[in-house]
């Protein structure tokens, strides 16, 4: 293989080393860097042939696979915004996003799109590529991905950043340097495993970074604990992006099952997207070694804090310190900065530029305090600047005038061997303000009782935080990336 360590990203790597393995798809099909670049270039020409120019929007309603990767890299060199759309949404929900982003072209898979209400042309990747040359398009400029937020309050909004106007080779080195600083990811003969839907920001971004670093991307169709472990061993996966619920599910596998799989190739497993209980993270590192890298941020703020494995082991529970180019502070309700150890609203400011919600300047302004953005979480920083998250501001329970953080209770309950999943919510109460309710999904075959779980909490958290009500559910609602949807849990509980 060619030495690609000094090459500025995917397009140059593919030209220099076309036989390098780029992609192992969900069905095992292998695509080289040269083959992938040829298809990316053809699609780039196909987009231009449809009249798209700098700043136009292309949407993709695509499952994980080569088509999703091609659209990401083709728009990335033609100055276009690319909107990955969650194909699990209803046609009406998809239609809202397509209308809101003004998609000029909508790309679907071979079986998708028939029932979608779309305003732009409906294409497959093959149709875009058909009859087009494999040479690089003229006037290449960097595109950007515009992800739509989950819409936990109101309709989802596109998070839009300004286009640089520069060639990808001018912008990519900054991002690859950043991933090296934060996650120790370097160019070379590495293997990246995609475990989550690529219509979400972190899995999509890590797929793109992996290709810009010259790594081979292995794509899992969906997350299943044993499937992922088997892929790690078979392809000697060295890095991956996961979410904490995946760790919990893998730890629940019997010891004899876990021991079947070789995970010794793993060096960087990056996790984000939700709070990871300390016991879960320690359990994974006892199994895999000190390979878990964590960062905290949002679609709007990108990566804001990060922590490497040994720093986390020295300070269990932290999500790290501000990353290069980011400042952070903790403010109270009046905007006063709080000292180390006091919890308040987290605010961050980035030196690399801001964002706006597409077509919603009021929402953009409401999310900012001057140049500072508030992701909506409560936390505190210690004397050394390491951040500890308490919970989402919207999930805070106030009972008897005391702040109670559901994430803390959930983390303690997840340490019980019979608990597969749990959601803790606050239910309105005339006397206390809120009553703490725990909805528990037991491990299959187990039958814990409410008192078993309360006894388990006894030595772990203060009694005033204990749930007043413990109920059991066959399943709890989560988003496709594994985040617990407390809003849906709360709505369903109150409806009953």
pLDDT per position as a tens digit, 42-73:
999 999 999 999 999 999 999 999 999 999 99
- Tell me which residue of 115, 112, 134 sits closest to 123, measured CA to CA: 112
How far is it, in rounded angstroms, from Cα 163 to Cα 160? 9
Q: Are 160 and 363 in contact (CB under 8 A)?
A: no
Q: What is the pLDDT of residue 406?
A: 87
pLDDT at position 360 = 87
> Mean pLDDT score of the chain, rounded to an integer?
90
Spatial distance between the Cα atoms of 192 and 182, rounded to a whole number of angstroms: 16
Spatial CB neighbours of 32, under 8 Å, sequence gap ≥ 6? 18, 19, 20, 21, 22
Task: Work out the percent of the chain whose per-residue pLDDT is above 70.
Answer: 94
- How far is residue 117's CA from residue 104's CA, in Å, rounded to a whole number? 13
Segment 178-237, tens digit of pLDDT: 999 999 999 999 999 999 989 888 999 999 999 999 999 999 988 999 999 999 999 999
Average pLDDT over residues 376-395: 88
* DSSP character at residue 45: H
State the burial class of residue 272 (Cβ atoms within 10 Å of its Cβ: 0-12, 13-18, 19+).
buried
- The neighbour count for residue 59, using CB atoms within 10 Å, is 27
Q: Specify the DSSP class assigned to residue 158.
A: B
Nearest-angstrom CA–CA distance, 376 and 347: 9
H or E stretch including 145?
strand 144-145
CA distances from 275 to 104, 280, 294, 364, 410 (A): 37, 10, 10, 25, 10
Q: Mean pLDDT throughout 104-113?
A: 77
Distance from the first to the final alpha carbon of the chain: 61
Domains recognised in the chain with CATH numbers = 10-183 (3.40.50.12780), 223-393 (3.40.50.12780), 396-495 (3.30.300.30)
Q: What's the mean pLDDT in 4-18?
A: 95
Indicate if the pLDDT at residue 153 is higher than 60: no
pLDDT at 488 over 90: no
Is residue 114 very low, low, confident or very high in pLDDT (cuts 50, 70, 90)?
very low
In this prediction, what percent of the chain has a pLDDT beyond 90?
A: 66
Phi, psi of 153 (to 5 degrees): -130, 110
Query: Residue 63: how many CB atoms within 10 A of its CB?
Result: 19
Are 435 and 469 in contact by the 8 Å Cβ rule? The answer is yes
Q: What is the pLDDT of residue 496?
A: 77
What local confidence, expressed as pLDDT, does residue 383 receive? Answer: 96
CB atoms within 10 A of CB 414: 20
Q: What does the pLDDT average to over 386-390?
A: 92
What digits encode the pLDDT tens for the residues 336-350? 999 999 999 999 998
Using only the alpha carbons of the chain, give its radius of gyration. 23
- Rounded to 5 degrees, φ, ψ at 171 are -100, -30
Residue 363 token pair: 């929402």
pLDDT tens digits, 465-480: 999 999 999 988 876 5
Phi, psi of 184 (to 5 degrees): 60, 25
**Spatial separation of the C-alpha atoms in residues 416 and 279, rounded to whole Å:** 10
Instruction: Give the pLDDT score at 69.
Output: 98
| Chain centre distance of CA 367 | 20
> How does pLDDT run across 400-433, given as a tens digit for each residue?
667 788 888 998 999 999 999 899 998 887 767 7
Q: Using the 8-state DSSP alphabet, how is residue 78 labeled?
A: B
Please answer whether residues 441 and 473 qualify as being in contact, where contact means their C-beta atoms are separated by less than 8 angstroms. Answer: yes
Q: Give the span between the Cα atoms of 114 and 116, in whole angstroms.
A: 6
Amino acid 151: pLDDT: 46
Report whether pLDDT(135) > 90. yes
> Which whole number is the average pLDDT over 157-177?
94
CA separation for the pair 351, 313 (Å, rounded) = 29
Question: What mean pLDDT is predicted for residues 62-91?
Answer: 93
Beta strands in 8-115 (DSSP E): 21-24, 30-32, 57-61, 81-84, 105-108
Mean pLDDT of 436-440: 94
Cα dist. 127→36, 40, 61 in Å? 16, 13, 15
Cβ atoms of 244 and 319 closer than 8 Å: no
381 burial type by CB count under 10 A (0-12 exposed, 13-18 middle, 19+ buried): buried
The answer, yes or no, to whether residue 98 has pLDDT greater than 80, is yes
Largest CA-CA distance found in the chain, in angstroms, rounded: 71
């Amino acid at each position: 293989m060619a030495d690609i360590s000094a090459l500025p990203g995917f397009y140059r790597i593919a030209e220099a080393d076309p036989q390098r393995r780029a992609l192992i798809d969900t069905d095992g099909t292998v695509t080289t860097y040269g083959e992938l670049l040829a298809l990316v270039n053809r699609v780039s020409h196909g987009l231009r042939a449809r009249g798209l120019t700098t700043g136009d929007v292309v949407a993709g309603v695509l499952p994980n696979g080569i088509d999703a990767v091609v659209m990401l890299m083709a728009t990335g060199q033609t100055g276009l915004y690319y909107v990955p759309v969650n194909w699990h949404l209803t046609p009406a929900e998809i239609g809202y996003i397509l209308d809101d982003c003004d998609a000029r072209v909508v790309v679907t898979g071979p079986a998708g799109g028939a029932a979608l209400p779309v305003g732009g042309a409906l294409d497959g990747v093959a149709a875009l590529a058909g009859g087009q040359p494999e040479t690089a398009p003229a006037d290449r400029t960097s595109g950007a991905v515009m992800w739509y937020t989950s819409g936990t309050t109101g309709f989802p909004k596109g998070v839009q950043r300004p286009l640089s106007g520069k060639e990808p080779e001018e912008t990519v080195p900054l991002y690859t340097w950043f991933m090296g600083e934060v996650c120790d990811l370097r160019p070379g003969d590495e293997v990246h495993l995609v475990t989550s839907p690529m219509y979400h920001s972190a899995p999509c971004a890590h797929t793109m970074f992996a290709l810009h670093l010259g790594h081979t991307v292995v794509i899992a169709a969906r997350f299943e604990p044993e499937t992922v472990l088997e892929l790690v061993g078979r392809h000697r996966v060295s890095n991956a992006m996961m979410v904490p619920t995946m760790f919990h599910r893998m730890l629940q596998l019997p010891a004899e099952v876990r021991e079947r799989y070789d995970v010794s190739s793993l060096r960087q497993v990056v996790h984000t997207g939700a709070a990871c209980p300390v016991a879960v993270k320690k359990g994974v590192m006892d199994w895999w070694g000190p390979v878990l890298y964590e960062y905290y941020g949002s679609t709007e703020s990108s990566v804001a804090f990060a922590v490497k494995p040994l720093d986390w082991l020295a300070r269990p529970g932290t999500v790290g310190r501000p990353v290069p180019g980011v400042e952070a502070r903790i403010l109270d309700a009046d905007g006063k900065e709080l000292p180390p150890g006091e919890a308040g609203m987290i605010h961050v400011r980035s030196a690399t530029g801001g964002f706006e919600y597409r077509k919603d300047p009021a929402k953009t302004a409401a999310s900012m305090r001057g140049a500072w953005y508030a992701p909506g979480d409560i936390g505190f920083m210690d004397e050394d600047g390491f951040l500890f998250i308490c919970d989402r501001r919207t999930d805070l329970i106030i009972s008897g005038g005391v702040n109670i953080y559901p994430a803390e209770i959930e983390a303690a309950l997840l340490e019980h061997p019979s608990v597969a999943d749990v959601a803790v919510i606050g239910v309105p109460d005339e006397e206390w303000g809120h009553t703490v309710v725990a909805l528990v999904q037991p491990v299959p075959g187990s039958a814990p009782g409410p008192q078993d779980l309360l006894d388990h909490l006894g030595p772990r958290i203060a009694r005033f935080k204990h749930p007043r009500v413990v109920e059991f559910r066959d399943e709890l609602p989560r988003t496709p990336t594994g985040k617990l949807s407390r809003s849906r849990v709360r709505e369903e509980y109150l409806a009953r």
